[in-house]
Structure 1
């Protein structure tokens, strides 16, 4: 699979894509190549592919139960792959040119209601290092809107205490600055005291395990699920739900959409605009409940 390896190398070293993104591209392309193999098509024959072959793959994915969203994500990987091959003159014609992905309905992001998040102040997170750490983790997600990977990789030195901000390294190594509230700063001080008792290093990764090792994804995920379960019956509970909650609460309380875009680290406003749909749904419910003619 020299074409695929060459493409992944390009994404890693020239485009500087994250390891997680590279794994996704690799899985999508492996699945596509397996499909071609089942039809007796070898990698060397990519130059002969046309849009009809791609459509067959789409039909195969849909028959296997893939959602429209999943299929379109895989097609996005394929588009990038063939665009690279065309740029490198490895193919003469892009088979993706006439391919249209399946339509998908807009799925509104899940978020925790404001009154439920207020209950978080009364939650018992436990004593000692783990208790303070768990509270900080949940509050960091809710008060900054950062992604799981961003919090996992956050360093103690990422905070500028004089300016009350935290510097976050997001997707494609884009840095953004997020304000830190007085409440969060106080909680951070409590945590750093406990952290120093566990680990004498003044810098390094901010969130640690109880064995003084850098926190990992499943740990942060479990912390969020455990404590959100105490305040909400929402079926979906995750760090990303808290990111949605952060953005939705900002918008509902009058924040500018462009400001939310910058805080979330979105590359375009279109990704942020989904929260306006959430706001509209909330207004629609209020209207139906309150208006006598509704």
Structure 2
């Protein structure tokens, strides 16, 4: 029985795969045979497999299809090791390529400022939302950090806030002046709203801690009310804080500390955002950027 026939029997019998799934897996197995050519399966190494992955990427295959093929090949070799005496699985240690990181659409400073300035009103919802979104933008908070903020965690007369980030790590973030003004107004309203013993900085109409979903819904509602072309969401405010801070400071390490990133590689996405902004400005402003630049007389 050939390796391919073994795989087909395994998928249909032991695995009980549907016909279309079997067809896809067998096509993936045949692709490996095509790549291998005259090289027997028993002689394949992880180096060859990685070479095939590079070939697939060059041919435009996306990360999902490559990951599926690697999974099919891995299952096939496990079967062959179990039933056909194969000694090595060349897929061990071979990882699928990561998905290309999508950059968030940059939000201009004026766009954020205009949005925040229009969060007016003296009702508790308006006061809370203005304070909440001013703080999110001021300090680059994740939505989980926003709803997890405690009233007692302000330091230095409200100039800094202790937040609980990912992995249970705490960090102290600065709070901007506009956010401090909004927070002062909100805390006066909160005093008559929060349930006894409630420690959350931001509470709902029942006086209880807000949920992340509630924050997302409020930001979406404000986006619709103000007629924004693109809905804002909490993470876009965090992105805006990071990119604006980095543009002015040019300090990647400080941006990493502000956001609470474990790795600076995560923070480096904002340098790519800056470059994209630079490229857009260059294309619109530099006289030699246009395809049909005026020739000198």
Structure 1 and Structure 2 fold alike (TM over 0.5): yes
Match of 1:262 among 253, 257, 261: 257
List 4+ stretches of structure 1 deviating above 6 A: 36-39, 69-72, 93-96
Instruction: State the Cα deviation string for residues 115-169 of structure 1 (Å, max 9, x = none).
Output: 1112124314433211100111111111111111111111101111436110011
1:153 aligned to 2:134?
Answer: no
Give the length in aligned residue pairs.
219
Larger Rg: 2
Please give the secondary structure, in 2, of the residue aligned with 1:177: strand
The equivalences for 1:47-126 within 5 A come to 68=63, 97-126=92-121
Comparing 240-249 with 107-116, which one deviates more in the overlay? 107-116
Aligned twin of 2:165: 170
Query: Contact 1:166 / 1:178 at 8 angstroms: preserved in 2?
Result: yes
Aligned twin of 2:206: 211
Aligned twin of 1:244: 239
Aligned twin of 2:180: 185
RMSD over aligned Cα atoms? 3.2
Query: Contact 1:154 / 1:168 at 8 angstroms: preserved in 2?
Result: yes
- TM superposition shift of 1:255: 3.8
Comparing 197-206 with 247-256, which one deviates more in the overlay? 197-206
Unaligned 5+ runs, structure 1: 1-35, 43-51, 57-66, 76-92
1 CA distance for matches of 2:94 and 2:119? 53
- TM superposition shift of 1:40: 3.6
Instruction: State the Cα deviation string for residues 41-69 of structure 1 (Å, max 9, x = none).
Output: 69xxxxxxxxx9xx98xxxxxxxxxx748
Please give the secondary structure, in 2, of the residue aligned with 1:150: helix
Aligned twin of 2:134: 139
Comparing 98-107 with 167-176, which one deviates more in the overlay? 98-107
Aligned twin of 2:275: 280
- TM superposition shift of 1:200: 6.0
Aligned twin of 1:60: none
Unaligned 5+ runs, structure 2: 1-9, 17-24, 30-61, 71-87, 290-297
Higher RCO (C-alpha under 8 Å, 6+ residues apart): 1
2 CA distance for matches of 1:246 and 1:102? 30
Normalised by the length of structure 1, the TM-score is 0.65
Please give the secondary structure, in 2, of the residue aligned with 1:166: strand
Instruction: State the Cα deviation string for residues 47-92 of structure 1 (Å, max 9, x = none).
Output: xxxxx9xx98xxxxxxxxxx748997xx9xxxxxxxxxxxxxxxxx
Tell me: CA distance 1:152–1:163, structure 2 relative to 1, closer, same or farther (3 Å).
Answer: closer
Match of 2:215 among 214, 220, 223: 220
Normalised by the length of structure 2, the TM-score is 0.65
1 CA distance for matches of 2:66 and 2:260? 25
Aligned twin of 2:229: 233
Aligned twin of 2:84: none
Tell me: CA distance 1:195–1:163, structure 2 relative to 1, closer, same or farther (3 Å).
Answer: closer
